[in-house]
Amino acid sequence: MKVEDIKNIAVIGSGTMGHGIAQIAATAGYNVTMVDVNNEILARAIEKIKWSLEKLAEKRRIKPEDVSLILSRIKTTTRLEDAAESADVAIEAIPEKIELKKELFARLDQLASKHAILATNTSSLSITEISRSTSRPDKIVGMHFFNPPQLMSLCEVIKGQFTSDETLSITAELAKKMGKTVIICKKDVRGFIVNRVLGAVFNEVFWTVYRKESTIEEVDASVKYKAGFPMGIFELADYVGLDVLANVAKVMYEAYGERMKPCPLATSLLNEGKLGQKTSQGFYDWSIGRPRIKFTLAGKYDINRVYTVAVNEAAWLIHEDVADPVDIDTGMKLGAGWPSGPCELGDRLGLDVVLGKLRDMYSKYGEEMYRPCPLLEDYVGKGRLGKKTGQGFYIYK
């Protein structure tokens, strides 16, 4: 199959991510069939798509007359077979549970035609393990969009152990046709590229608040107004979904152990079903719209702590040959809206400065999450300190 042969796309799951993926696929001209477990959920998803398209039309990002045209390309069904049988590509966006995904992929494999590529939007799970539940592991691939898919211009494409080069390149081409910049995750590691860095950052701020060293509002005001992140980190946690984050945190802990030790800060919210924006309550009250984060609290949390753990995680990704600095930086800028990527930041701050801060944090807390990556130690040992010495993650002429 060539990317030009793709006409029909099945999107399984119509929640936070599924409806957005269906929308961008239809906007790119594909016929989309969106699947969910009941018609009420599907009706809500269509409403959200309609709202989003109208918003984009209002901003002249699409033509007003295209709103109904794009909507007409999206069908909905509760019967997987209705979507799978005609699909050239299926994109799965159901909850982050490996058993659910394996069961779905086994069914998709039986229903879809032999040429179809089956992609997963998983945040963290093993593409290879999912592919083992099918008879076409070469056609199983990670296609990781970012929330909201309508506005975030990144797609991470992930190669599982058995994914063929052809599947990888068709998937990357498809993501580009859907308007995305693609970064390739070279290894099927848990959390891939962007969620590895975000995971380290979430852990740092969650534990900081859990230890009562800062408040949620102080962290969010500082990262938003001092670091220029588009959202506070707790605001982002609510936006992503505390259930999604908890599932991802579990996967990361299983893979990386104490280095990614999850924090119990959100446990009581989760138990009360307060999952963030989608349930109107989480760390913030979303029933009155986006949280208003007080500017006066900016600076009460040291944003260098976030930079430090982000740079360290970027170093781990390079050390493990998962990604290179350019892809990591592109990932964080386009996938999470950061003004600079962690490798650029590290080089600007000075890798010796970052390493010094990590060492201080590691000796203060004794937590593995602050243990410096050997690559960082190596760079600093060799005098690769960043911009000031002409070489750090990058070379400066």
Quickly tell me which residue has 């201080």 as its tokens.
360
Does position 369 interact with ligand CAA (CB under 6 A)? The reply is: no
Question: Which of the listed partners (ligand NAD, ligand CAA, none) does 18 bind, with a CB threshold of 5 to 8 Å by partner kind?
Answer: ligand NAD
Closest approach of ligand CAA to the CB of residue 50, in Å:
11
Site for ligand CAA in 156-195 (CB under 6 A): 195
Which residue spans within 13-85 are E strands per DSSP?
A: 31-35, 74-77
Lookup result for tokens 């590229």: 193
CB 152 to ligand NAD: min, Å: 9
Task: Point out which span in 202-210, 239-247, 309-317, 339-347 binds ligand NAD (CB under 6 A).
Answer: 239-247
142 is a contact residue toward ligand NAD (CB under 6 A): no
CB 34 within 8 A of CB 22: yes
**Residue 370's binding partner out of ligand NAD, ligand CAA, none, with CB under 5 to 8 Å set by partner kind:** none
What is the phi-psi region of residue 64: left when phi exceeds 0, alpha when psi lies from -120 to 50, beta otherwise?
Answer: alpha
123 is catalytic: yes
Q: Is 156 a residue of the active site?
A: yes
Between residue 22 and residue 81, which ones bind ligand CAA under the rule CB under 6 A? 52, 55-56
Question: What would the DSSP string read from start to end of 78-108?
Answer: S-HHHHHTT-SEEEE---S-HHHHHHHHHHH
Q: Is 258 exposed, middle or buried (0-12, 13-18, 19+ CB in 10 A)?
A: exposed
Q: Which of 31, 121, 123, 247 is catalytic?
A: 123
- Between 299 and 339, CB nearer to ligand CAA: 339
Contact between 93 and ligand NAD (CB under 6 A)?
yes
Binding residue for ligand CAA (CB under 6 A) from 1, 71, 186, 230?
A: 230
- In 3D space, the residue among 278, 124, 245, 266 whose CA is nearest the CA of residue 191 turns out to be 124
Rounded Cα gap, residues 345 and 9, in angstroms: 39
Q: Give the number of residues in contact with ligand CAA, rule: CB under 6 A.
A: 21
Residue among 27 and 121 whose Cβ is closer to ligand NAD: 121
Starting from the edge strand earliest in sequence, which strands make up the sheet with 140-145, in order?
Answer: 74-77, 31-35, 8-12, 89-92, 117-120, 140-145, 154-158, 181-185
Of 198, 268, 261, whose CA–CA distance to 234 is shortest? 198
* Strand 140-145 to 154-158 pairing: antiparallel
- Residues engaged in binding ligand CAA (CB under 6 A): 52, 55-56, 123, 146-148, 150-152, 195, 198, 230-231, 236, 240, 244, 290, 335-337
- Residues engaged in binding ligand NAD (CB under 6 A): 12-18, 35-37, 41, 93-96, 104, 121-123, 145-147, 240-241, 244
Catalytic residues: 123, 144, 156, 195
